[in-house]
A and B are shown apart, each in its own frame.
Chain A
Amino acid sequence: MAGEPEAKKPAKGQSKPASTKADESSDMAKPKSAIDHDLIRELAKLLEETGLTEIEFERNGERVRVARRAKRAAGPATAASASSAAQVAADDGPIDHTGNPGLVTSPMVGTAYLGAEPGARAYVEIGSRVRAGETLLIVEAMKTMNQIPAPRAGTVTQILIEDGQPVEFGEPLMIVE
């Protein structure tokens, strides 16, 4: 599977103007050719290093766009449409958690909330110790709040969703080890 972050996931990989790194590397004194190979190579390298799918760079009215070929992945694509700029903490690309015995997945479709109400404190944070059955988060569907319990006692080591994120059945939510 391609596994590339693409339009379905929040924010990651959306086209952004290139960072200044590319600016510094191009040599303004070079003879102007139709294609600036060095620039493109530099942008491509940047793409690889950062895990972005697309970089668009404009200078003096010339624009270059370098994009990683994103396939329509069959994998766990979420339903998130246009979304906030906040990035999911900690990962560079979709990590497969399915083997992890501490993985807590969503038993339903809905919207995940980390606290009981907007503005309320989150039920848990990274490092929180929980008992079996203790509420980790809420998944709301059609105005009904469903508390998602910890399947066993342990420590929350990862929180894989953002507050207010739409989730599907089986969506990885948290890891409790």
Chain B
Amino acid sequence: MFDKILIANRGEIALRVLRACKELGIATVAVHSTADADAMHVRLADESVCIGPPSARDSYLNIPALLAACEITGADAVHPGYGFLSENARFAEILEEHNIHFIGPRPAHIRLMGDKIEAKRTAKRLGIPVVPGSEGGVGSDQEALSIARDIGFPVLIKAAAGGGGRGMKVAASADELASALATARAEAKAAFGDDTVYLEKYLTRPRHIEIQVLGDGRGRAIHLGERDCSLQRRHQKVWEESPSPALNAAARSVIGETVAKAMRELEYLGVGTVEFLYEDGIFSFIEMNTRIQVEHPVTEEITDIDLILEQIRIAAGGELDFQQGDIRFHGHAIECRINAENPKTFRPSPGKIVHYHPPGGLGVRVDSAVYHGYTIPPYYDSLVGKLIVHGKTRAEALMRLKRALDEFVIDGIETTVPLFQALVREKEIIDGDYHIHWLEEYLARVT
């Protein structure tokens, strides 16, 4: 087992990782920018190292500074959290060259799934159903048109180097295709340094359903059920729940086993999430994330499995403790991502939290690094925290969520709590009857 883990991240996930380390008796090193010197996880860590000024590029993304911090503290492993360098294969390789363990998948798999075209090819090869689309990147506009006609309009143009909802453009008809392609390429080049794009059929009202997997890198892998993350704004997930209101046990078992089997074949190491669009009973692979996800608590609540702990254990050479048959799903969990934003305009609202009271009680969990008197810095994402509730049924979870939201006090900044208070009272949310465009359609209606 590791002696000392350096947490290469910030905010709520850094605190989450720190908690797992403490429970495992592993020493912790918190690295932080000057803007995060007062962060809760920095205060709680055994050691801390300031690695740079506020900008992420000079701090949390600064590989030499992270390596130097490992060197002076003697850390033998790094947990990259999510975002930042968590899916940077080169970072993982550099750490390995310095005999520091990267808590995550093998660099080859990070690289494989980071290239969205290769990821799709691999998924197809492993028997995972994919969205109909171009076989690889599209070359000329003529080629694109021909493929688009085959798969049928509307089509989605996606950046091969993109992912996470970024770098996508819709072309509703043949007329729109050429200009949509040009824009998509230009944006992809600017954002990711690579203008390769591929085409996919655009599904009109799918749900976003993703499967959590866990592999020990030696050919054993299991799935931990699904999360329904259909409620999104600008491709950013806002509300996640498990089980999905749209799946029954049989459907879950089929897609879960398909994914687990693929991970066994890949000899996947660590945690990962395979994301699908689900429409009319059909799953279509969109991408795989080779890291822990923001919404992991939802799965933890219904399986009672500590995913960060498992990540660390497996990275340290541990074996998979569970067989698929050992995994039990109980009850229902919902997570709301609360951001420091105006709940109607979504304008960012960084600043000092003058009053803070998080909700509590049975089945209520708040994963947040925020505290009374904390100032949210303007340099990073606007996540204040995640409110996660669990209930024996979805109805109970919704009731608990409503109660918890009404109790939550975060004064001094604007937050999206009112948005969730409204959503939890909306008929279609209560019925579980929504899809990936639902939230934006709702917001257009009410604002």
Contacts and interface: CB of A to CB of B under 8 A. Distances in A.
Contacts of A79: 29, 47-49, 69, 72-73
Given A74-B37, A76-B37, A141-B67, A171 B73 contact: no
Contacts of A76: 37, 50
A110 B47 CA distance: 15
Contacts of A78: 49
A171 B34 CA distance: 11
A142 B43 CA distance: 27
Contact of A109 (B37, B38, B53, B68): B68
A109 B42 contact: no
Interface string A146-177: 00000000000000000000111111000000
B8 to A, nearest CB: 13
Nearest to A72: B43
A8 interface: yes
B68 A141 contact: yes
B317 interface: no
B71 interface: yes
Contact of A169 (B29, B44, B51, B73): B51
Q: How large is the interface on A (under 10, 10 to 19, 20 to 34, 35 or more residues)?
A: 20 to 34
B64 A142 contact: yes
Q: Which 9 pairs of residues, A with B, have the shortest CB-CB distance?
A: A141-B68, A166-B72, A109-B68, A168-B50, A79-B49, A74-B38, A169-B50, A168-B49, A169-B52
A170 B34 contact: yes
A26 interface: no
A72 B67 CA distance: 25
A110 B50 CA distance: 11
Nearest to B71: A142
Contacts of B52: 169
Interface of A: 8, 72, 74-79, 81, 108-111, 141-142, 166-171
A109 B72 contact: yes
Interface in B32-74: 34, 37-38, 42-44, 47-53, 59, 64-65, 67-69, 71-74
Interface of B: 29, 34, 37-38, 42-44, 47-53, 59, 64-65, 67-69, 71-74, 98
A169 B65 contact: yes
Nearest to A144: B64
Contacts of B72: 79, 109-111, 166-167
A169 B53 contact: yes
> Which residue of A74, A81, A109 has the most chain B CB atoms within 10 A of its CB atom?
A109
A172 to B, nearest CB: 12
Nearest to A74: B38
A30 B443 CA distance: 80
Nearest to B30: A77
A169 B64 CA distance: 12
A78 B43 CA distance: 12
Nearest to A166: B72
B47 A77 contact: yes
24 contacts: A8-B47, A8-B48, A75-B37, A76-B50, A79-B29, A79-B48, A79-B49, A108-B68, A109-B51, A109-B65, A111-B71, A141-B67, A142-B64, A142-B68, A142-B71, A166-B72, A168-B48, A168-B49, A168-B51, A169-B51, A169-B52, A169-B65, A170-B50, A171-B50
B91 to A, nearest CB: 14
Given A74-B42, A109-B72, 18 more contacts: A8-B47, A72-B44, A74-B43, A75-B37, A77-B48, A108-B65, A109-B49, A110-B68, A110-B71, A111-B71, A141-B67, A141-B68, A141-B71, A142-B68, A168-B50, A169-B34, A169-B52, A170-B34
B330 to A, nearest CB: 37
Contacts of B42: 74
Nearest to B66: A109
A108 B43 CA distance: 21
A54 B34 CA distance: 30
Nearest to A1: B38
A111 B68 CA distance: 9
A78 to B, nearest CB: 8
A13 to B, nearest CB: 16
Given A76-B37, A141-B68, A81 B74 contact: yes
A54 to B, nearest CB: 18
